[in-house]
Structure 1
Amino acid sequence: MATGRSGGRVRLQDVATLAGVSMKTVSNVVHDYEHVSERMRERVQAAIDELGYRPNLTARRLATGRTGMLALAIPEMDQPYFAEIARCVGEEAGRRGYRIIVEQTLNDVEAERAVIRDREEGLVDGVIFHPARIDTLEIARLRPDTPLVLLGEAARPLTTDHVMIDNVRAAREATELLLATGRRRIAFLASVRTEIAESTHLRLLGYQEAMVGADIPLDPTLVIESEGFGIDDGVRALTAALDRGLAPEAVLCRDDLFGLAAMRALSSAGLRVPEDVSVLGWDDTSLARYATPALSSVSPDKRAIATSALDLLEDRMNGYDGIGRHLLAPYTIADRGTVARLVR
């Protein structure tokens, strides 16, 4: 902790004394008020940097009504997609002068209710939240006082801002990419048994649209069920399907974890990727980029998702109180080493 000239915590007065200005001037610089000359701002900032002064959050809130803190609530920190989203949000928030508190809800509905209802009230200026369990109507009923922006597919209340990609369209285009390489027997890995997530539902819908559009009869055996979301779950599910005689020419995966699972299960079965079976993941995480071979993957623009969410949140923090704005972020398909034309 930085210390002042008296040996205690650095105070506003210490900065003012070093800079040779009033405490009011230092406060104006700290709170980024407009009517401060650039020369004076640089002088005060130099003193702040030298002393390592950090504003007290309680005092700052009393003075400005804000803490400079934002919350990001995600289901699981150790999931690659959420880890990368957290990094993008943190970096973009830092550029705007905010600090981020990251909270994981672990897919627990009570933890998600707490995020919206009361946990961050008074501590942060706004919340970016990726729900997994709580539904659209409950979020609409709770109507938090703290500005809120939602990410993901699980809930989309009309009164709340929301950012996501068009999962149906992306899945349709991903399936069409596989079809364009001559693959017709395209499996989907996976529908998680007893718990079909909204993202899975939307991606399955896009997959079906592409298959029907290509006049290929839908085959329920090509939609593989998994007991869970982990790589081991995916390996077991695809291995069992191959053992039953399933012979896919391509596998569209609901995320990159299942993409890695598909490559491992296929390799263990003596099948080559992509020569025998193409594999296409989803989320374009570091797992995809550094896999061997590098995994082709649907690539949401995570930076655009973070930027859009913070734009909407700052609007709310600055007084916007209109109807919810639902934005679609861009995406691409990173075509790497696991998709190739089928040679018959």
Structure 2
Amino acid sequence: MVNGRSAGRVRLKDVADLAGVSMKTVSNVMHDYEHVSPAMRDRVRAAIEELGYRPNLTARRLATGRTGMIALAIPEIDQFYFAEIARHIGEEAGRRGYRVIVEQTLNDVEAERAVIRDREEGLVDGVIFHPARIDTLEIARLRPDTPLVLLGEAARPVTTDHVMIDNTRAARDGVEALVRSGRRRIAFLATVRGDITESTHLRLLGYQEALIDAGIGADPRLVLQSEGFDLEDGVGAVRTALDAGIAFDAILCRDDLFAMAAIRALTEAGLRVPQDVSVLGWDNTSIARNSTPALSSVSPDKAALASVAFDLLLERIDGYDGIGRHMIVDHSIAERATT
């Protein structure tokens, strides 16, 4: 019991009565409207805390037409990059008074269609979605009713908001950094059998462009082939190249996991990183920041991805119905011990 009331039955009116303000003022504080004095805001928050008030989502939806929740749909929640994106989205949601439902699609096209078509309707105010398999035209045809913002490279319909980094430019920057350090035989790890993502293609394109601009011939043998996305697949790709006598003095990797695979295979072969071979990862995830040696990595601004995506989504939720906004956020090269 709190002040004679069951905490589960505390109403907005109870908070207003305790704080000595109107219910509208309580609502304004809860929605973080700026036109509330600091003293009034403190009184309301103290009353909310004392009473243990929690807004009822059903009542909020009936009153405002909104749930205060968004969905984040990503391919795999245990993949390092997507886990960090989910954390940034969650932090951004908390700052804006929203909660997040996280859903993984497991690269299944039917699961992705459900995200677009109807799965989230009525449950959330909007969806931030990183598709892997569903294509641009299909999203355009489905025309989702729930506000939607896309992440990544897989689909970019002109009618839908979209946030990404410039993968081709980022790959060029990575190769250029390796060239500046004196590397000339730069491998790419890797193209992957059955890869359905656009990101590998864009990164490979930037890799080739940078080599040509530097006056270095793009040797097809330096584009390594992997049977899958796991660490052991990456190790196998590097071993196969070394066993075939293919020489290289640097590797640009499609992600940090492949970079760790490269370091393992090179070490097993008696090659030193970075003295003999520099290794540059991609995504600047926790494994890059905490590995030994510390891994250099192409670093998307994940916080900016989350912030810009939320900005666009909230504008859609608030009624914006214009053509899709396609936004590019910054990237950098986090140089550490492996380069």
Under TM normalisation by the shorter chain, which class is it? over 0.9
Q: Which residue does 2:256 correspond to in 1?
A: 256
When residues 243 and 126 of structure 1 are mapped into structure 2, their CA distance, relative to the original with a 3 A threshold, is same
Q: Which residue does 2:86 correspond to in 1?
A: 86
Count residues with an aligned counterpart.
338
* In structure 2, C-alpha distance between the alignment counterparts of 1:165 and 1:200, rounded to whole Å: 13
Question: Shift of the alpha carbon at 1:315?
Answer: 1.0
When residues 167 and 15 of structure 1 are mapped into structure 2, their CA distance, relative to the original with a 3 A threshold, is same
* In structure 1, C-alpha distance between the alignment counterparts of 2:198 and 2:259, rounded to whole Å: 19
- CA displacement, residues 46-73 of structure 1 (integer Å, 9 cap, x when unaligned): 1111122111111101101111111111
Question: Shift of the alpha carbon at 1:183?
Answer: 1.5
Unmatched segments (≥5 aa) in structure 1: 340-344
Conserved? CA contact 1:298–1:331, under 8 Å: yes
* In structure 1, C-alpha distance between the alignment counterparts of 2:50 and 2:250, rounded to whole Å: 59
Question: Shift of the alpha carbon at 1:215?
Answer: 2.5
Report the 3-state secondary structure (helix = DSSP H, G, I; strand = E; otherwise coil) of the residue aligned with 1:333: strand
Q: Which residue does 1:139 correspond to in 2?
A: 139
Q: Which residue does 2:60 correspond to in 1?
A: 60
Q: Which residue does 2:152 correspond to in 1?
A: 152
Q: Which amino acid aligns with 1:83?
A: A
Q: Which amino acid aligns with 1:88?
A: H
- Give yes or no for the alignment of 1:213 onto 2:213: yes
Structure 2 length as normaliser, TM-score?
Answer: 0.94
Matches within 5 A, 1:64-143: 64-143=64-143
Question: Shift of the alpha carbon at 1:32?
Answer: 5.5
Q: Which residue does 1:175 correspond to in 2?
A: 175
Q: Kindly, what percent of the aligned residue pairs are identical?
A: 74
Conserved? CA contact 2:10–2:51, under 8 Å: no
Q: Which amino acid aligns with 2:168?
A: V
Conserved? CA contact 2:68–2:97, under 8 Å: yes
Q: Which residue does 2:188 correspond to in 1?
A: 188
Q: Which residue does 1:166 correspond to in 2?
A: 166
Q: Which amino acid aligns with 1:56?
A: N
Conserved? CA contact 2:133–2:196, under 8 Å: no
When residues 285 and 133 of structure 1 are mapped into structure 2, their CA distance, relative to the original with a 3 A threshold, is same
* In structure 1, C-alpha distance between the alignment counterparts of 2:334 and 2:32, rounded to whole Å: 41
When residues 40 and 215 of structure 1 are mapped into structure 2, their CA distance, relative to the original with a 3 A threshold, is closer
Conserved? CA contact 1:4–1:14, under 8 Å: no
- Give yes or no for the alignment of 1:199 onto 2:203: no
Structure 1 length as normaliser, TM-score?
Answer: 0.93
* In structure 1, C-alpha distance between the alignment counterparts of 2:50 and 2:7, rounded to whole Å: 15
Q: Which residue does 1:342 correspond to in 2?
A: none
When residues 231 and 129 of structure 1 are mapped into structure 2, their CA distance, relative to the original with a 3 A threshold, is same
Question: Shift of the alpha carbon at 1:214?
Answer: 2.1
* In structure 1, C-alpha distance between the alignment counterparts of 2:23 and 2:214, rounded to whole Å: 71
* In structure 2, C-alpha distance between the alignment counterparts of 1:119 and 1:271, rounded to whole Å: 51
Unmatched segments (≥5 aa) in structure 2: none
Question: Shift of the alpha carbon at 1:42?
Answer: 3.2
* In structure 2, C-alpha distance between the alignment counterparts of 1:65 and 1:261, rounded to whole Å: 49
Q: Which residue does 1:284 correspond to in 2?
A: 284
Question: Shift of the alpha carbon at 1:21?
Answer: 5.0
- CA displacement, residues 105-162 of structure 1 (integer Å, 9 cap, x when unaligned): 1111111111111111111111111111110001111111111111111111100111
* In structure 2, C-alpha distance between the alignment counterparts of 1:185 and 1:115, rounded to whole Å: 43
* In structure 2, C-alpha distance between the alignment counterparts of 1:59 and 1:312, rounded to whole Å: 26
Conserved? CA contact 2:251–2:279, under 8 Å: yes
Query: Greater CA deviation, 193-202 or 7-16?
Result: 7-16
Question: Shift of the alpha carbon at 1:41?
Answer: 4.0
* In structure 2, C-alpha distance between the alignment counterparts of 1:3 and 1:107, rounded to whole Å: 48
Question: Shift of the alpha carbon at 1:326?
Answer: 0.6
Report the 3-state secondary structure (helix = DSSP H, G, I; strand = E; otherwise coil) of the residue aligned with 2:234: helix
* In structure 1, C-alpha distance between the alignment counterparts of 2:37 and 2:333, rounded to whole Å: 48
Conserved? CA contact 1:10–1:52, under 8 Å: no
Conserved? CA contact 2:70–2:99, under 8 Å: yes
When residues 35 and 193 of structure 1 are mapped into structure 2, their CA distance, relative to the original with a 3 A threshold, is closer
